[in-house]
Amino acid sequence: MEAIRCRHALYGESVVFDIGARYVNDAPIIKIIQVRDMAKKPEFFAETPTGLDDGSDPFAFRRDAFSDVLELIRVRGNTVFTCAASAPFGLRFPAGKCRLHIIRSGSVAIEVEGDDEPYHAAQGDLVMLMHGHGHVISDRLGRSATLLTDLALHHYDRERLTIGHGDTTWLCGDFGFDGVLSQRLLSVLPPVLILKGLRERPFEWLELSCRFILDEALNPRAGAAAMISRLLDVIFVQLLRTWATDGTVGRGWLSGAIDARINPAMSAIHADPGRTWTVGDLAGLSNLSRSAFADRFQRVVGMAPLSYLTSWRLDRAAELLRYSRAPISDIANRVGYTSEAAFSRAFRGRYEMSPMQWRRINAD
């Protein structure tokens, strides 16, 4: 017989096992012959391993300013369905939801409420209405349109998740944004984003994403809603970064996030808002002189570097007030304020209410 001493995984006690010579199903019979309390002998306890932080973990993804802001926006994909029609047709989408349209066959005209500019999209184009404007999709401009909800009452095939019939088809989805800061951050985007000819580029992911979304919606399995939401998230992020790279981006956080010189400084601010940053510190991260960095930051982002730092600190604080139960004094310290009174004054200046009022109104 052989005795083996080991530590119980749950209770932290010394357990001595007696392993006999007899076997059952090719496994030795094991009998506990001694249990000894270890509470008074801490030297027996194993130390908890120290985890690697992102800076020392060789497998960690490098953070970037674009991802940081997207986390604050908290994108959430909601519903999805297919629209099908043949000319003449006109379909009115009511205001209130951020809509995504992926044209899968044919071509359409798009008229947006409050916007005099007409838009056109064809197979392979991706259209995003970022601010929830009402709009009409039709075979030609000026066509009378039927309200989406009215058409759905009689022509929505729930088995196929399709409204109508015809040779012009497009996938329609809508987004929500959980973050209380989303409207502020998304205000730099135009009301309509159209990416043209995605099928002509290496964007097989788009058609593949459409198929995955429809398959999940038509054949719901456990986790289908979460899967559809994540796939719509992927499309949203891909659209946003492709537009930012290829399109004409105005001044704002998005311009800074894609600017090779400004991005390192923005990422550092996002990663450690509580640090006492100076313009010189941030300029060094961007490999620019202090004056050249300040000028470039103002030109690209539309505000001075330390003004952006203050804005980010207060925006992060607003998120922490909503999504955590940390005391206000701790949140103030975490975002760089040594005085709760100074933090409250700054917060009120940006949000027109005290941190306590903000937490009460926006708490989940």
3-state SS class at 150: helix
Domains assigned to the chain: 2-44 (no CATH), 66-246 (2.60.120.10), 253-362 (1.10.10.60)
Outline where 105-259 has alpha helix (H). 148-155, 182-186, 204-218, 224-246, 253-258
CA 218 to chain centre: 25
Residues 6+ apart with CB under 8 A from 47: none
Alpha-carbon distances, residue 91 vs 148, 321, 322, 352 (angstroms): 6, 42, 38, 41
How many alpha carbons lie under 13 Å from residue 146 in its C-beta half-sphere? 15
- Residue 342: what pLDDT? 96
Q: Say if CB 100 and CB 175 are below 8 A apart.
A: yes
- Residue 38: what pLDDT? 41
- Residue 52: what pLDDT? 47
> Radius of gyration of the chain from Cα atoms?
28
- Residue 88: what pLDDT? 94
DSSP-assigned letters across all residues of 132-145: ---EEEESSTT---
- Residue 101: what pLDDT? 93
Alpha-carbon distances, residue 58 vs 53, 54, 267 (angstroms): 10, 8, 19
What is the chain's pLDDT, residue by residue, as a tens digit (364 residues)? 445 444 444 334 444 444 444 444 454 444 434 444 444 444 444 444 444 455 567 776 667 787 877 777 777 777 889 999 999 999 999 999 889 998 989 999 999 998 989 999 998 888 999 888 999 999 999 999 999 999 888 888 888 888 988 999 999 988 887 666 677 777 778 888 888 866 555 557 777 887 888 888 878 788 888 888 888 878 888 877 777 776 566 678 888 888 889 999 999 999 899 999 999 999 999 999 999 999 999 999 999 999 999 999 998 999 899 888 999 999 999 999 999 999 999 999 999 999 999 999 887 6
Dist. CA 201–CA 133, nearest whole Å: 29
3-state SS class at 291: helix
Dist. CA 168–CA 106, nearest whole Å: 5
3-state SS class at 274: coil
The two tokens of residue 65 are 């300013």
- Residue 352: what pLDDT? 93
How many alpha carbons lie under 13 Å from residue 210 in its C-beta half-sphere? 20
Determine if the pTM surpasses 0.75. Answer: no
- Residue 161: what pLDDT? 83
